[in-house]
Chain A
Amino acid sequence: MEQLKTIGRELAMGSQGVWGSSKEFLELVKTIGEAKSKAEEERIVLAEIESLKRRIQEPDVPRKKMKEYIMRLVYVEMLGHDASFGYIHAVKMTHDDNLLLKRSGYLAVTLFLNEDHDLIILIINTIQKDLKSDNYLVCCAALTAVCRLINEETIPAVLPQIVELLNHQKELVRKKAVMALHRFFQRSPSTVSHLFPAFQERLCDRDPSVMSAVLCALYDMILVNVKPFKHLVASLVSILKQAVEHRLPKSYDYHRTPAPFVQIKLLKILALLGTGDKAASENMFNVLGDILKRSDSTSNIGNAILYECVRTLTSIYTNPRLLQNAAEITAKFLKSDSHNLKYMGIDALGRLIKITPECAENHQLAVIDCLEDPDDTLKRKTLDLLYKMTKANNVEVIVERMVEYIRNISDNHYKTEISSRVIELAERYAPSNQWFIQTMNQVFEIAGDLVPQKVAHDLMRLIAEGAGEEDEDADSHLRSSAVQAYLQILKEPKLPSILLQVISWVLGEYGIADGSHSAEFIIGKLCDIVATRPGDDKLKGYVVSAITKICAFEKAAGQTVDLIPECVSFIEELYASHSTDLQQRVYEFHAVLKLDRDTLASILPMDASCEDIEVDKDLSFLNSFVESALANGSRPYLSDNERRGMGAMTTLASNNDAGTSSLLRFQPYEKPSIPEPAAALVTASHYSQDAIDQHDIYSSAITVSTSSKAPESSSNDGTRLKLEGVQKKWGRPTYTPEAQVPKNPINISDSVKVSSSAAGKEASSRNSSAPPYTERKQPPQEISAEKKKLAASLFGSKAGDTKAKPAAKLQQNGTSKKAPAKPTSPPPPAPAPPPADLLDLSDSLPQTPSVDPVDQLADLISVDSSAATSTTSLVEQVFDAGKVATKGPSPQASLQKDAVSRQVGVTPSGGTNPDLFKDLFG
């Protein structure tokens, strides 16, 4: 029966053409609909393009036919092919007098063209004309097009007309005019900034649909700047109240919920306005409480409103009673069977814990369920939540979860995102260096090349510096365990380049340090590393440096080093490498090998990678050499300035060198007035008695070359120099006195030096060893700034900043006539955890919570156990564990116990796991 009906309907449409479609069009749509594969669809569309190209250009295509062609073009583009040959016809159709054809034309144009397309200019005129039309539907069609086609430059062409239409008698036109202005605000806020009063006037429009359109615009405007709209709180609250109380026409209801989308929009706006503003927030409490009471928690739309309400409550000034309600709603979401509601619940919980961190504990089981759910979306959302609630005492288990997650996904976007979170958490809360290194190794192994180079650098430095204290034993233990771990990792195939770089460096520095591995063995491993990635020049550089160091250590210790054949061939090959960096490294290697034992010990001492290098800028060690040369009748060295002064008489007035009457210099790049390159040269040629400076420089040339930051710091000089040149050229055309740019020639040669001498580059970067070490302090700060920003945008943590003010205001108000404020001093927003220095152990130690968490847990469980009978065994376990732990000396001890149990192999997995349970919330 149903089938008959549909057949009948198809026939009716085909023959009658009520809808203005020809049989041919219906046929096309049908074949597309019936296409069984993408290839078939592709074939149909390509054939269609051919036929359209031909037919659309025929003269005198009837208008109705043309509309059909244009809809066919829309199909062509929708299915992923270019239909630009027909754009002009769509533009033409916007001129049509018939409303349907005109609107179809506008529709096609908005679908085809973006606002910067060349053809737009042809439509502006039509739009202007249509905006003046007597037919309000034509007006609306034009306004709809305005929202899609007008860009920043063309706004002035239509703006006055649209402002006029704000007072059109038809509400539909007013609504669309508001939206057009909203669009202009999105594109270029300054063009409509003078219209804020007009927007506010429309907010009080007698038609609710116009009002709701204004809300869209207001939301965006308030997002940019709250201040000018603060006075609207009362009106918005009253609108919301009316909406909630069913005072809008019935036709705005959706499933018996009054104007839900208007309510949600209003709640969003109120959240922005109430952020950190106690007075404004207090205006809202009533209506928010009303919504919480009235909204129907059995329907999706009711829950959507409730969720939005929770969001608002968590961003405005806190009200404990309403927050309690919000927590109840969140609990209901989390307990729901619907995955959608669970998802919303997890999100809401993430917002709530920012204000009341303790509420997470009530939902432990629900959160763990979500975490273990096969639904990827839910799992990721839960990881977001965990990320938000990470503290020193649960970082290990949370990071473990995250690592486990990224191990199993293939999407690079999320791998990058989550691995950066892991790194952030590890840096901030790492309980021990050992753990940090292990975690980083895992991240490198999984996310590999998605990890920024800087992280690798930090890791290497951590291994080199150890705990930063004078505890050499612990440091060397850390290093040998790192070596051990890396040798283990090397057994796995397909490691990412960045991890191999770290491994090469660590093996080179510490591979033979503890004496458990022979030099041959380590060198063999290093050669294996290269063999896995033949084309990776950067890695080769690391490996050559590592081999150099090992050979030097061995020789310095009085051993002879016999290079294994693979290593010899590897080195030989690099003599002819295309990379000059690699060539230099192997030549250095060659030179180092020829040195005697004592020199080697001073050039490349063990474990000196993080010692500062003192550079003798005066080159005092050359004094004896210079003196003997002078004694032999050489000319004394003249500084650059002196030399220039001498040549001043003979010089030509140079045009480009403002002020400085310099010589015509034929060798501008060779001026050796900076000590570093000279020092480096000396190490290459004379490595004699003045070894102290030399070996430092030399070892730095090897160790620092692993630093990615170092070259940048030196190249910065280069950029700064260029700027100076620009200033000189484009600055004021006045005569620049010499005094202002006396250093110019020196600087130029300085920058050249950087590029010309690699050894000098490394030495100079090492020379300024301060920057890398100060940089070390920066990363945690950056992260915390980011966090703050995120918090500010998500939770309106401006509250933290401005909280002081409203409170002060309140006191004044309290003394005056205003109603006495409730003495509910809200809990301060969760303070952003202090940026922990990743190397500072004292900071990263687990902080002792003020209340013993195990006690809380025990209380909680004893309450819960009556309800959750299914989990009694679990509860007992946890409870027991809790008892034992409470007897222990401190929470820290119980933490250690956890750590031990984890190491033993109690991995938190499976539906309900006491360890995970405790680790997360303990």
Chain B
Amino acid sequence: MDRWSARWKIPMRHRLGSAILAPASPAPRTTMHRSQSLLRGSCKTSKMAIRFVLLVNKQGQTRLAQYYEQLTIDERRALEGEIVRKCLARTENQCSFVEHRNYKVVYRRYASLFFLIGVDSEENELAILEFIHCVVETMDRYFGNVCELDIMYHLEKAHFILEEMVMNGCIVETNKSNILGPIQLMDKSF
């Protein structure tokens, strides 16, 4: 774990320079609408374990978003704003789970990047926390020393990896060679 965050940290700082390092003050920048309903899309897919996967940097900027339930763009914006604000406000030694309305959000921080997974109330939070790490390890194996910019430049690849690992809101695959095999084959064919 320590090895991970260490490897993850260094490239990021240098690459995105001061923009990333600037002290984050998310509060004034977020003009989110509190009152918006986030519940609408959830009834149809109530059985899903994982509701969304979000990658957000510590300024609250979304780097990857995958929703497994139907939300409008406005609902997503509001949700992301509220959740990110909640998570950013937490300290290292608080627990990695945040309740938000009918979601539980499990988050993990790697350097300047937050991985957040929204789950329903019956999910095993600790397992999801490790799943996040599994996602990061998989991305790391694919990109080699993955960093925020890798994900930004190759957004579709990050999505493909996620598509292999999570389907219909369930964790389907955590075997890294099974996940990366088809993607690497596809890269060769291009």
Instruction: Give CA–CA (A20, B185) in the complex, Å.
Output: 16
Kindly report which residue of chain B lies nearest to residue A136, judged by CB atoms: B182
Whether B14 pairs with A377 at a CB distance below 8 angstroms is no
- Given A33-B152, A82-B73, A209-B175: A340 touches B126 (CB 8 Å cut-off): yes
**Which segment, of A34-42, A46-54, A843-851, faces chain B?**
A34-42
Whether B168 pairs with A32 at a CB distance below 8 angstroms is no
Whether A300 pairs with B126 at a CB distance below 8 angstroms is yes
Residues of A close to B171: CB separation below 8 A = 216, 261, 265
Instruction: Give CA–CA (A311, B149) in the complex, Å.
Output: 40
Question: Measured between C-beta atoms, what is the minimum distance from B71 to chain A in Å?
Answer: 9
Residues of B close to A540: CB separation below 8 A = none
Whether A33 pairs with B149 at a CB distance below 8 angstroms is yes
Question: Measured between C-beta atoms, what is the minimum distance from A423 to chain B in Å?
Answer: 20
Whether A175 pairs with B172 at a CB distance below 8 angstroms is yes
Instruction: Give CA–CA (A252, B77) in the complex, Å.
Output: 36
Whether A78 pairs with B64 at a CB distance below 8 angstroms is yes
Check if B129 is an interface residue, CB within 8 A of chain A.
yes
When each residue 46-84 of chain B gets 1 if its CB lies under 8 Å from chain A and 0 otherwise, what string results? 011000000000011110111000100100110010000
Contacting residue for B190 out of A78, A98, A179, A255, CB 8 A = A98
Whether A13 pairs with B153 at a CB distance below 8 angstroms is yes
Q: How many A-B residue pairs have CB under 8 A?
A: 200
Check if A140 is an interface residue, CB within 8 A of chain B.
yes
When each residue 109-126 of chain A gets 1 if its CB lies under 8 Å from chain B and 0 otherwise, what string results? 001001100000000000
When each residue 89-115 of chain B gets 1 if its CB lies under 8 Å from chain A and 0 otherwise, what string results? 010011111110100000000000000
Which positions 339-359 of chain A face chain B at CB distance < 8 Å?
339-344
Whether B159 pairs with A107 at a CB distance below 8 angstroms is yes
Instruction: Give CA–CA (A447, B2) in the complex, Å.
Output: 44
Question: Measured between C-beta atoms, what is the minimum distance from A26 to chain B in Å?
Answer: 6
Residues of A close to B167: CB separation below 8 A = 144, 147, 176, 179, 182-183, 213, 216
Check if A212 is an interface residue, CB within 8 A of chain B.
yes
Instruction: Give CA–CA (A342, B34) in the complex, Å.
Output: 30
Question: Measured between C-beta atoms, what is the minimum distance from A570 to chain B in Å?
Answer: 34
Q: Is the contact region of chain A dominated by helix, strand, or loop, or is it mixed?
A: helix
Whether A261 pairs with B127 at a CB distance below 8 angstroms is yes
Check if A134 is an interface residue, CB within 8 A of chain B.
no
Residues of B close to A208: CB separation below 8 A = 175
Whether B76 pairs with A19 at a CB distance below 8 angstroms is no
Check if B43 is an interface residue, CB within 8 A of chain A.
no
Check if A103 is an interface residue, CB within 8 A of chain B.
yes
Question: Measured between C-beta atoms, what is the minimum distance from B47 to chain A in Å?
Answer: 6
Residues of B close to A304: CB separation below 8 A = 124, 126-127, 129-130
Contacting residue for B178 out of A6, A80, A107, A172, CB 8 A = A172
Residues of B close to A676: CB separation below 8 A = none
Whether A344 pairs with B125 at a CB distance below 8 angstroms is yes
Residues of A close to B187: CB separation below 8 A = 100
Residues of B close to A249: CB separation below 8 A = 175
Check if A260 is an interface residue, CB within 8 A of chain B.
yes
Residues of B close to A176: CB separation below 8 A = 167
Which positions 492-515 of chain A face chain B at CB distance < 8 Å?
none
Residues of A close to B148: CB separation below 8 A = 33
Whether B98 pairs with A377 at a CB distance below 8 angstroms is yes
Q: Interface residues of B toward A: which range?
A: 35 or more
When each residue 91-117 of chain A gets 1 if its CB lies under 8 Å from chain B and 0 otherwise, what string results? 000000011100110010001001100
Kindly report which residue of chain B lies nearest to residue A262, judged by CB atoms: B174
Contacting residue for A103 out of B124, B127, B149, B186, CB 8 A = B186
Check if A251 is an interface residue, CB within 8 A of chain B.
yes
**Which segment, of A69-77, A230-238, A320-328, A560-568, faces chain B?**
A69-77
Contacting residue for A252 out of B16, B59, B153, B175, CB 8 A = B175
Residues of A close to B170: CB separation below 8 A = 179, 182, 216, 219
Whether B15 pairs with A6 at a CB distance below 8 angstroms is yes
Which positions 143-190 of chain B face chain A at CB distance < 8 Å?
148-149, 152-156, 159-160, 163, 167-168, 170-178, 181-182, 185-187, 189-190
Instruction: Give CA–CA (A275, B76) in the complex, Å.
Output: 37
Check if A821 is an interface residue, CB within 8 A of chain B.
no
Question: Measured between C-beta atoms, what is the minimum distance from B156 to chain A in Å?
Answer: 5
Kindly report which residue of chain A lies nearest to residue B178, judged by CB atoms: A209
Whether A6 pairs with B11 at a CB distance below 8 angstroms is yes
Check if A308 is an interface residue, CB within 8 A of chain B.
yes
Interface size, chain A (Cβ < 8 Å) = 90
- Given A137-B182, A212-B173, A304-B126: A377 touches B168 (CB 8 Å cut-off): no
Question: Measured between C-beta atoms, what is the minimum distance from B172 to chain A in Å?
Answer: 5
Check if A264 is an interface residue, CB within 8 A of chain B.
yes
Whether A107 pairs with B152 at a CB distance below 8 angstroms is no
Which interface residue of A20, A78, A114 has the most chain B CB atoms within 10 A?
A78
Check if A2 is an interface residue, CB within 8 A of chain B.
yes
Whether A339 pairs with B93 at a CB distance below 8 angstroms is yes
Whether A6 pairs with B155 at a CB distance below 8 angstroms is no
Kindly report which residue of chain B lies nearest to residue A178, judged by CB atoms: B172
Question: Measured between C-beta atoms, what is the minimum distance from A376 to chain B in Å?
Answer: 8
Instruction: Give CA–CA (A182, B168) in the complex, Å.
Output: 8
Instruction: Give CA–CA (A179, B124) in the complex, Å.
Output: 21
Whether B172 pairs with A212 at a CB distance below 8 angstroms is yes
Kindly report which residue of chain B lies nearest to residue A257, judged by CB atoms: B130
Whether B94 pairs with A339 at a CB distance below 8 angstroms is yes
Which positions 176-219 of chain A face chain B at CB distance < 8 Å?
176, 179, 182-183, 186, 208-209, 212-213, 216, 219
Residues of B close to A19: CB separation below 8 A = 153-154
Whether B14 pairs with A2 at a CB distance below 8 angstroms is yes
Whether A100 pairs with B16 at a CB distance below 8 angstroms is no
Whether A6 pairs with B93 at a CB distance below 8 angstroms is no
Whether A36 pairs with B168 at a CB distance below 8 angstroms is no
Which interface residue of A36, A175, A377 has the most chain B CB atoms within 10 A?
A377
Question: Measured between C-beta atoms, what is the minimum distance from B133 to chain A in Å?
Answer: 8
Contacting residue for B10 out of A2, A305, A340, CB 8 A = A2
Instruction: Give CA–CA (A418, B45) in the complex, Å.
Output: 25
- Given A38-B29, A99-B189, A344-B125: A29 touches B152 (CB 8 Å cut-off): yes
Whether A144 pairs with B163 at a CB distance below 8 angstroms is yes
- Given A100-B189, A377-B97: A32 touches B182 (CB 8 Å cut-off): no
Contacting residue for B172 out of A20, A213, A343, A413, CB 8 A = A213
Whether B14 pairs with A300 at a CB distance below 8 angstroms is no
Question: Measured between C-beta atoms, what is the minimum distance from A314 to chain B in Å?
Answer: 14
Instruction: Give CA–CA (A4, B155) in the complex, Å.
Output: 24
Instruction: Give CA–CA (A308, B17) in the complex, Å.
Output: 42
Instruction: Give CA–CA (A303, B11) in the complex, Å.
Output: 31
Instruction: Give CA–CA (A2, B13) in the complex, Å.
Output: 10
Question: Measured between C-beta atoms, what is the minimum distance from A151 to chain B in Å?
Answer: 10
Check if A363 is an interface residue, CB within 8 A of chain B.
no
- Given A35-B19, A220-B47, A303-B126: A261 touches B174 (CB 8 Å cut-off): yes
Residues of A close to B181: CB separation below 8 A = 172
When each residue 15-30 of chain A gets 1 if its CB lies under 8 Å from chain B and 0 otherwise, what string results? 0000111000110011
Residues of B close to A581: CB separation below 8 A = none
Whether B130 pairs with A343 at a CB distance below 8 angstroms is no
Instruction: Give CA–CA (A41, B60) in the complex, Å.
Output: 11
Whether A307 pairs with B186 at a CB distance below 8 angstroms is no
Residues of A close to B93: CB separation below 8 A = 339
Some 17 contacts from A to B, beta carbons below 8 A apart, are A21-B153, A25-B153, A35-B19, A77-B73, A78-B62, A137-B189, A209-B175, A213-B167, A249-B175, A251-B175, A264-B124, A300-B130, A304-B129, A339-B95, A344-B125, A378-B94, A414-B99
Q: Please name 15 further chain A to chain B contacts, defined as beta carbons within 8 Å, in addition to the given A33-B16, A80-B62, A375-B90, sorted by A numbering.
A: A6-B11, A32-B61, A35-B61, A82-B73, A100-B189, A103-B156, A137-B185, A147-B168, A172-B178, A186-B45, A216-B167, A260-B127, A303-B126, A308-B124, A339-B94
Which residues of A are at the interface with B, using a C-beta cutoff of 8 A?
A: 2-3, 6, 10, 13, 19-21, 25-26, 29-30, 32-39, 41, 71, 74-75, 77-82, 98-100, 103-104, 107, 111, 114-115, 137, 140, 144, 147, 172, 175-176, 179, 182-183, 186, 208-209, 212-213, 216, 219-220, 223, 249, 251-252, 254-255, 259-261, 264-265, 300-301, 303-305, 307-308, 311, 338-344, 374-375, 377-378, 380, 413-414
Pick the 3 closest A-B CB pairs, nearest first: A339-B95, A304-B126, A216-B170
